[in-house]
Structure 1
Amino acid sequence: MARVLVIDDEEQVVKLIREVLEGAGHEIVEARNGREGMKLYEAKPTDLVITDLVMPEQEGLETITALRRQYPAVKIIAISGAQQKLDLDLLYVAEKLGALRTLEKPFDIHKMADLVKELLQNKP
């Protein structure tokens, strides 16, 4: 079906997303930080990117900005669990930078699957 790049430093989150999306027939490519994710996307673009916002080396907001600048049509879902820890609405900022959808951790994995399906059905 589709290739999805998942960028997150939390192994359990990546594992859960992988299980659900592979079960739906998608191919999953994994990166542990934004820098690694950018390299993978540049080498072979995917149909969709799911990125965490708070990660080591290169965080999600920087990654979204770089992806949107270099690949304007890229479809991005931003996820974050840092909302309660920080006095800043990172998901709102992610939307303003170009994420098409956002989810706050912990999220309902079925909601994630629905968002992926929705974005992939709306191919440019």
Structure 2
Amino acid sequence: MIKVLIVEDDEIFRAMLEEMVRREGYQVSAVTNGNEALAAIERNPPDLVITDILMPEKDGIELIMDLARLGSQVPIIAVSGGRRAISLEFNLESAKLLGVRATLPKPFTREALRRAIAEALTPTDETDS
């Protein structure tokens, strides 16, 4: 079974996202920030990471950069709703530039989540770049 790690600081949104992903047939675990995510990934590497961008302690961009530095090949979906002066478009574009496989603006539909997961789990052919 495909293991998905959700990294989201908002308790209500995290619970909703966990349930949505579980209903798609995936094994789900969840943490509240990038530091917890790194520890979870070290203990039990997932097949996919879905991370919020704006979080306390270690945000999603820092997590994405840390995973890249560690040479991780785990596909990542970045999620953002933006905040005040930082637009969700800026957050998601920044994540794309850092190599995430898919992005989702909050709020999103279950169908959009399905598409993002399918996109993220589709193997990339690095010889085409």
After TM superposition, the score normalised by the length of structure 1 is 0.89
Pick which of 53-62 and 69-78 moved more. Answer: 69-78
**Structure 2 letter corresponding to 1:108:** T
Indicate the SS of the match to 2:5.
strand
Runs of 4+ in 1 over 4 A off after TM superposition: none
Residue 68 of structure 1 corresponds to which residue in structure 2?
A: 68
Give the conservation status (yes or no) of the 8 Å contact 1:68–1:74.
Answer: no
Q: Does 1:86 align with 2:85?
A: yes
Distance 2:35 2:51 in 1: 12
**Displacement of 1:11:** 1.4
How does the TM-score come out when normalised to structure 2? 0.86
Aligned CA RMSD, in angstroms, stands at: 1.8
- The code of the aligned residue for 1:85 comes to R
Unaligned runs of 5+ in 2: none
Query: What percent identity do the matched residue pairs reach?
Result: 35
Matching residue of 1:114: 115
State the match for 1:58 in structure 2: 58
Q: Secondary structure at the match of 2:84?
A: coil
User: Which string of whole-angstrom CA distances, capped at 9 and with x for unpartnered residues, describes residues 66-96 of structure 1?
Assistant: 11221341200000111x5224511111111
> Relative contact order, CA 8 A, sep 6+: which one is greater?
1
Query: 112-121 vs 35-44, which deviates more?
Result: 112-121
**Which deviations, in whole Å up to 9, do the C-alpha atoms of 1:33-55 show, x marking residues without a partner?**
00001100011110000000110
Distance 1:73 1:108, change over 3 A: same
